[in-house]
Amino acid sequence: MKLQRKNRLRATALGALAVSGALVLTACGSDDNTESSGSGDKTTAASNIKCDGATGQVLANGSSAQKNAMDIWIKNFQEACSGVEINYAADGSGAGITKFTDGQVAFAGSDSALKPEEVTASKEVCKGGQGINLPMVGGPVAIGFNVPGVDSLVLDAPTLAKIFDSKIKKWDDKAIKALNPDATLPSTAIQAFHRSDESGTTQNLNKYLKAAAPSDWNYDDSSKSWEAKGGQAASGSSGVASSVKDTEGAIGYFELSYATASSITTVKMDTGAGAPVEVTSENASKAIAAAKVKGTGNDMALDLDYATKAEGAYPIILVTYEIACDKGNKAETLPTVKAFLNYTASEEGQKVLADAGYAPLPTEIAAKVREIVPTLS
């Protein structure tokens, strides 16, 4: 226990583990690791985390969508491997990729795969190689709302598109009423919140609206920046979630873990299936399971079906990738990066995701990632 307290204090001082209260409780539930006396090829009896020569500090940056998952992974990994510090800053997918291609971080988290020009830029850092996309965590993008007196709300893609494009401005709009005939909807003005930073979460919402409501969403679905008209901006998923929670009449988008941690009521989506679909990890998994690999070689970029009408499949989904060099990694950080990613992709690393509001990777995809990580050089 002394070692665990010491590690937690050190991690807190580095600012790498700003864990929400709810997730602290979740993580502490698995806080039964056997102490490791070094960072050599050791395995903790309880957690089975292999340190494989991990040592020193690794800097990483990117997706805020996976931050809560990262907090748990980092906590477990650092407790298993003494002397190791994984410092992950959740500055958004765009910032993470920029820092990666600038050589400032060992790996980046992104909710969208590298674009061709980003792959080209990565070759300057990955000497003799390039950045590759390793899917690591999946999950639903929740649509959270704050309308006093309304504890259940159904929306469809066209209505959601019009709300976020400032074409539907009141909660008692006829389009919302038609989807919620039993609800008492107030005439309160809609306060729509979006991300101010470049975000893969924004991009995935764009992709969903473009696929499911093409005539109502006329924006670039490859953009990580918010392009729709009106609305209010907030930084990061945490900023959008806080704004929705604190603002009457608000609506916004963020990962399910943020909605859960802040007790924000979420929208059920009418996808055209037999019944509106609730946002849950299980329902997101049903949609993610249909993903196809579109990357080549060791690149695992995925093609997601945002317009799915499968029963019980929640369509607003994202997969967060860890962006790493396939070749040309820095020698001083490579062992730690490989050991950490080996853990996050492992069965044990994936199992901790569901309780935190995420969807573990489909079995076949996770197995392929576990084959690729050890080959990083």
Q: Tell whether 35 and 47 lie within a shared domain.
A: yes
Is 197 a member of any domain?
yes
Contact 321, 133 (CB under 8 A): yes
Q: Is the pLDDT of residue 35 over 60?
A: no
Q: Is residue 30 part of a domain?
A: yes
Return d(Cα 140, Cα 304) in angstroms, integer: 12
Looking at the predicted structure, is the pLDDT value of residue 39 above 60? no
Same domain, 145 and 280: yes
145 and 109 in a common domain: no
Q: List, for residues 114-156, the tens digit of each pLDDT value.
A: 999 999 999 999 999 999 999 999 999 999 999 999 999 999 9
- The identity of residue 10, as a single letter, is R
Total domains in the chain come to: 2
Residue 309 resides in a domain: no
pLDDT of 33 > 90? The answer is no
The boundaries of the domain holding residue 254 are: 140-288
**pLDDT of res. 29:** 30
Whether 94 maps to a domain, the answer reads yes
State how far the Cα of 100 lies from the Cα of 330, in Å rounded to an integer: 12
Q: Do 134 and 231 belong together in one domain?
A: no
Q: State pTM to two decimals.
A: 0.78
Identify the pLDDT of residue 47: 59
Output the pLDDT for position 359.
Answer: 87
One domain for residues 125 and 205: no
The burial class, CB within 10 Å (0-12 / 13-18 / 19+), for 41 is exposed
Residue 314 lies in a domain: no
Q: Give yes or no: residues 176 and 72 share one domain.
A: no
pLDDT score at 299: 97
Domain shared by 74 and 16, yes or no: yes
